[in-house]
DNA sequence: ACAAAATGAATGATCATTCATTCACTACTC
DNA sequence: GAGTAGTGAATGAATGATCATTCATTTTGT
């Protein structure tokens, strides 16, 4: 068995259990069983449950950033870059329902609160994708192609609908296809453009 | 002491504790203490904790609907009605941070999942404000003033940003004023209008 | 004095975490 | 190559903490 195999198994089991049943449905005993190891083994790979939960979250953040940066260059026209990011986030989430559900649960739990407290203080956010958006909005406002609003609001206008739409797709309330994704992204653009 | 006084005290205590500390920070013992009653008293007014949690949620839904309907008539011009609802939701939430936080916690918890399972099956949703939006979108699409998209998506486009913005205001990441609220509502309109 | 309301210690269930023990595997000896 | 000791990984029963809920008892209002 490969060296960090059990570590991966535990992360995957946590992802699935939390995504499908929430944190309440993912006690250590269940995580271990689902990973095919004993409860005590968790503590050989992670200091405690909180560390496991947080490391998984960081892994997923990294996965999104990597996916978004694929085919993204600063040389692309502004509007095209915006649409690339918006559609990229939406497509990532609807093709990764477990990841979406996990991250959403995380955000609205004591873990998410603690995470923000610990990480959001350093304004620009460490290795995340925050700087991508910041750069984009700064340029868009300077070029007067998008509304002159605080970055936080621009972010909410652009990605608030995306999260909402992704959730409804994953919960089965709507079935998105390429055409609808295009229309949604255009609508987000309409809401930002000057 | 008035008749249902303790019932109200328990609901208020639950609202405050859950909003501020999440469901993890609101055990029955704490709720009772915060309400100034004994733990056992909870069960004189509510069958169990789940009933308390759900009744509080229904109360808050009712409060929003009432607030939204104030000054809203079907005779108003379409665009004005849309802006009324969007601004109404936003203003309700930023003036009721505890209510916002409670509802958000509720949505992303086992309670919210169970609630959707039990109530969302009856399509049009019982006494909620769902029919208001449904009526509005149907008319807007028919009049060709907004995009021809599924109602679910129209709802996400309109209110996804509102929830996001309200959260960031309440968490202190942005300070909304009347001007900004106006601009946000207009941006939501831009994203829907044809 | 009676009934309804309120109390809060006791109960039993559920968890995260620990740690004494077992297991699997390598290295070393003869 | 058979036997043996050494080592870290893995186990899972036991522990202690935290909860929701109950109910025998007390308090309050009439």
Residues B55-102 have pLDDT tens digits of 999 999 999 999 999 999 999 999 999 999 999 999 999 999 999 999
Residue B2, phi then psi, degrees to nearest 5:
-60, 160
Tell whether B9 is within 8 A of chain A (Cβ): no
Q: Verify whether the Cβ–Cβ distance A165 to B161 is below 8 Å.
A: no
DSSP 3-state of A146:
strand
Q: What is the pLDDT of residue A1?
A: 45
pLDDT band at B31 (very low <50, low <70, confident <90, very high): very high
Q: Give the integer Cα–Cα distance in Å for A152 and A155.
A: 5
Q: What is the pLDDT of residue B95?
A: 98
Strand C atom within 7 Å of A27 CB: yes
The structure tokens listed for A146 are 């998008």
B125 Cβ contact list (under 8 Å, min separation 6): B119, B131
Could you tell me how many CB contacts below 8 A there are between chain A and chain B? 102
Q: What is the pLDDT of residue B142?
A: 97
* Angle in degrees, 0-180, between the axes of helices A130-142 and A78-95, rounded to the nearest 10: 150
pLDDT in tens, B149-189: 999 999 999 999 999 999 999 999 999 999 999 999 999 99
Q: What is the mean pLDDT of chain B?
A: 94
A107 Cβ contact list (under 8 Å, min separation 6): B108
Answer whether B1-46 and B51-192 agree in fold: no
Residue B146, phi then psi, degrees to nearest 5:
-125, 165
List CB contacts (< 8 A) between A24 and chain B: 109-110
Share of chain B above pLDDT 90, in %: 89
A177 Cβ contact list (under 8 Å, min separation 6): none
Would you say residue B33 has pLDDT above 80?
Answer: yes
Q: Verify whether the Cβ–Cβ distance B149 to A105 is below 8 Å.
A: no
A162 Cβ contact list (under 8 Å, min separation 6): A86, A89, A90, A93, A184, A188, B160
> Considering Cα of A12, then A17, then A18, then A23, what sign does the dihedral take?
negative
Minimum distance, in Å, between the CA of residue A186 and any CA atom of chain B: 8
Whether the Cβ atoms of residue A97 and residue A14 lie closer than 8 Å to each other: no
Name B193's bridge partners.
B146
pTM of whole model > 0.85?
A: yes
A161 to chain B: nearest residue by CA?
B160
Report CA dihedral (B82, B88, B93, B99) to the nearest 10 degrees. Answer: -110
DSSP string, B12-75: HHHHHHHHHHTGGG--HHHHHHHHTS-GGGHHHHSSSHHHHHHHHHHHHHHHHHHHHHTT--TT
The structure tokens listed for B28 are 């029955």
Tell whether B25 is within 8 A of chain A (Cβ): yes
What CATH number belongs to B1-46? Answer: 1.10.10.60
Q: Give the integer Cα–Cα distance in Å for B14 and B25.
A: 10
* Class of domain B51-192 (CATH, top level): mainly alpha
Per-residue tens of pLDDT for chain A, all 194 residues: 455 689 999 999 999 999 999 999 999 999 999 999 999 999 999 999 999 999 999 999 999 999 999 999 999 999 999 999 999 999 999 999 999 999 999 999 999 989 998 887 665 555 568 889 999 999 999 999 999 999 999 999 999 999 999 999 999 999 999 999 999 999 999 999 99
Scanning every strand, the nucleotide with its C1' closest to A50's CA turns out to be: C16
Task: Tell me the domain boundaries of chain B.
Answer: 1-46, 51-192
Residues composing chain A: 194
Would you say residue B190 has pLDDT above 80?
Answer: yes
Q: What is the pLDDT of residue B41?
A: 97
In this structure, the number of other CB atoms found within 10 A of the CB of residue A146 comes to 23
């Amino acid at each position: 068995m490969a060296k960090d195999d059990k570590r991966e198994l535990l992360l995957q089991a946590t992802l699935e259990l939390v995504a499908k049943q929430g944190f309440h449905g993912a006690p250590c005993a269940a995580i271990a069983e689902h990973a095919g190891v004993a409860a005590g083994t968790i503590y050989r790979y992670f200091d405690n449950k909180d560390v496991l939960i947080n490391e998984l979250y960081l892994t997923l953040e990294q996965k999104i950033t990597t996916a978004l940066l694929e085919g993204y260059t600063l040389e692309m026209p502004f509007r095209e870059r915006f649409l690339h990011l918006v559609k990229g986030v939406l497509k990532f989430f609807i093709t990764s329902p477990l990841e979406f559900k996990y991250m959403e649960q995380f955000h609205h739990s004591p873990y998410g609160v603690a995470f923000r407290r610990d990480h959001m203080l350093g304004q620009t956010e460490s290795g995340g994708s925050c700087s991508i958006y910041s750069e984009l909005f700064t340029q868009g406002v300077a070029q007067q192609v998008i509304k002159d609003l605080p970055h936080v609001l621009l972010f909410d206008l652009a990605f608030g609908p995306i999260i909402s739409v992704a959730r409804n797709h994953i919960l089965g309330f709507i079935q998105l296809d390429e055409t609808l994704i295009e229309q949604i992204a255009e609508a987000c653009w309409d809401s930002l453009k000057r």
